[in-house]
Amino acid sequence: MSEPGSGVIGPGEPGERVPDRVIAEEMGEEITDSLRRVRHAEETRYRAEHPGEGLRERKRRLTRHLIADVATAMFASRGFDAVMHFAALIEAGESVKVPEQYFDNNSLRTLTLLRMMLKHKVSRFVFSSTAAVYGEPQSVPIIEDHPLFPTNAYGVSKLMVEQMLAWLNSAHGLRYASLRYFNAAGATAARGEAHRSESHLIPLLLQVPLGQREAIAIFGTDYPTRDGTCIRDYIHVDDLAAAHLLALQGLEIHATLICNLGSGEGFSVRQIVDLARKVTGRDIPVRECPRRAGDPAVLIASSEKIRRVLGWNPQCSDVESIIASAWRWHKSHPYGYRVAP
């Protein structure tokens, strides 16, 4: 399938890895280049208009307007057949403290993007949703028709977008795929997980053997699980990328797709710590801390639907292999994408 007009909105490892796969499979060579070119132009314009503004404040203001401005420029510059949307605030604990930021960034700004798509008659949308829409599971593994009762504002903000999409499909025929991630992790040779303010377990763990952190914090040791710590389902970012391309192709046949993305296996925080010790060959001290608000005890996916409907077959999501791939990348990029201090 030729997709010269597919657009990718959003930073982060999945938002970078999917364009790599799109280009490799010759589905379109202008996706990442278009976004980076427009973003650079937008940053240049903004600096010229606000010459006295400090770097931190400029980044905050630019981020506030980036999706609307970049989307406007991209849609005006050329036609698109589809959009993949990855951009979001993602920290569940933070979302409980400042829910308004999550509703503004994740829900309202996605609506801005969707309205732009409708205006320019872009008919397909692949959305990065989350397992957080389920809340505390009533049964595991979680299937897609499980009740939706998110326990944090992050999950609510994503569920709001899913509800918008259902209405826009009904009213305007917008075809959409909502992919409910469990825990995206791992690395490729070129791409790894490195957030400015890191909150994900595996990269945080690996900071300890890299000498950047003294210990790893375990938030909650009294959950109703086998060792008292939260249990999560991990999926390699390359398998995640493959699922997005299948979803985009699937929207040629299906008007809507709602699918879980996970491995179907659950691992506790303590198990991940032990595996990281094994992979790195280093001791990783832990520090036990109180629970974080909004963290469900167990999240394990059933991915039977996307396997059956789209033929998805994850190749890289053995959890020890996920940690090993991340360790290789972090050893060669100890400061992520930043220059060493």
- Output the six-digit token pair for 257: 């797709």
- Output the six-digit token pair for 35: 């976004």
| Active-site annotation holds for 102 | no
Query: What is the residue whose two structure tokens read 């938030």?
Result: 219
| Cis-peptide, bond into residue 11, ω within 30° of zero | no
Q: Which of 102, 134, 154, 223 is catalytic?
A: 154
User: Who contacts 50 (Cβ-Cβ below 8 Å, separation ≥6)?
Assistant: 58, 61
Distances (CA, A) of 199 to 91, 196, 208, 319: 7, 9, 14, 18
Query: What is the residue whose two structure tokens read 């950047």?
Result: 212
- Output the six-digit token pair for 78: 């050329």
- Output the six-digit token pair for 179: 């992919």
Backbone angles phi, psi at 167, to 5 degrees: -70, -40
Return the axis-axis angle of helices 55-77 and 109-119, rounded to nearest 10°: 20
Active site members: 154
